[in-house]
């Protein structure tokens, strides 16, 4: 049914996304081969471009799941083209997350695609739409860490290995943050369909402040330590050591 109600142009991959993907591929190759005269610059461009690609895939997962759940409006809005410029707030969805990566090495979730929930029937479908985005980050993290948990890092050049470790950190932090059941984040979107109407009405005014609240909490040293302790524990379980992540962070911040 969706192939009938969505035009081919609404599903064509955007040149903007292809350009970002090309940057990730070329700089990834430069990092792997050591072609770049300044490896830190190549790592910076590779990780940043790959991070933006993951943001696009995150939002695409929301939109695609919504499409198959009944919201056929996502095609006309451009959400199926993977073009980050089509998102509700391009600044919040792409620019701000990249700035936070540069400033603090944290995968701040973006925000994004407007889903017409009135078109969707069934609580499970609403929950799945919200979960689809962070599950994409989980999958991305699994791919980034594959050489580590497959015990194949011996054949991976050090610069690329460190870049993958730092990129994995961003994906894990994004997944953990997004799955928090805080209004405004995807985790709340997963549980929200199952809450009583009275609770929903009380929580709704705070939805736009949820991410700011979480970010403010991360400035508290004790909370920050617990959060990143959990993130690093997940990475260690996937075979990624703290030294790999630290080296990746240092290479990424080549100007420091």
Catalytic residues: 59
3-class SS letters over 204-215: HHHHHHHHHHHH
Beta carbons of 159 and 152 less than 8 angstroms apart: no
Q: How many beta carbons lie within 10 A of that of residue 199, not counting itself? A: 11
Residue 160's alpha-carbon distances to 44, 110, 233, in angstroms, are 11, 26, 22
Residue 156 burial (C-beta neighbours within 10 Å; 0-12, 13-18, 19+): middle
Please identify which residue in the block is written with the tokens 């990780």.
47
Give, in degrees to the nearest 5, the angle at Cα 93 between 36 and 177: 95
DSSP 166: H
């Amino acid at each position: 049914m969706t192939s009938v109600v969505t035009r081919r142009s609404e599903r064509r991959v955007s040149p903007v996304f292809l350009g970002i993907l090309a940057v990730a591929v070329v700089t990834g190759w430069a990092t792997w081969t050591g072609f770049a005269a300044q490896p830190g610059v190549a790592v910076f461009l590779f990780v940043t471009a790959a991070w933006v690609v993951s943001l696009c895939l995150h939002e695409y997962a929301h939109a695609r799941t919504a499409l198959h759940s009944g919201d056929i409006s996502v095609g006309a809005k451009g959400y199926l083209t993977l073009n980050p410029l089509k998102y509700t707030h391009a600044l919040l969805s792409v620019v701000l997350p990249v700035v936070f990566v540069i400033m603090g090495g944290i995968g701040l979730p973006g925000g994004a695609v407007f889903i017409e929930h009135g078109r969707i029937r069934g609580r499970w479908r609403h929950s799945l739409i919200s979960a689809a985005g962070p599950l994409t980050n989980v999958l991305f993290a699994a791919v980034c860490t594959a050489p580590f948990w497959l015990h194949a890092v011996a054949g991976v050049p050090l610069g690329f290995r460190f870049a993958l470790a730092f990129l994995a950190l961003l994906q894990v932090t994004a997944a953990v943050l997004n799955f928090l059941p805080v209004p405004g984040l995807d985790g709340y979107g997963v549980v929200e369909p199952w809450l009583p109407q009275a609770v929903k009405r009380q929580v709704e005014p705070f939805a736009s402040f949820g991410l700011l609240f979480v970010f403010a909490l991360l400035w508290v040293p004790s909370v920050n330590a617990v959060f990143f302790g959990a993130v690093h524990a997940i990475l260690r379980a996937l075979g990624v050591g703290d030294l790999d992540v630290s080296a990746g962070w240092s290479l990424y911040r080549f100007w420091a």
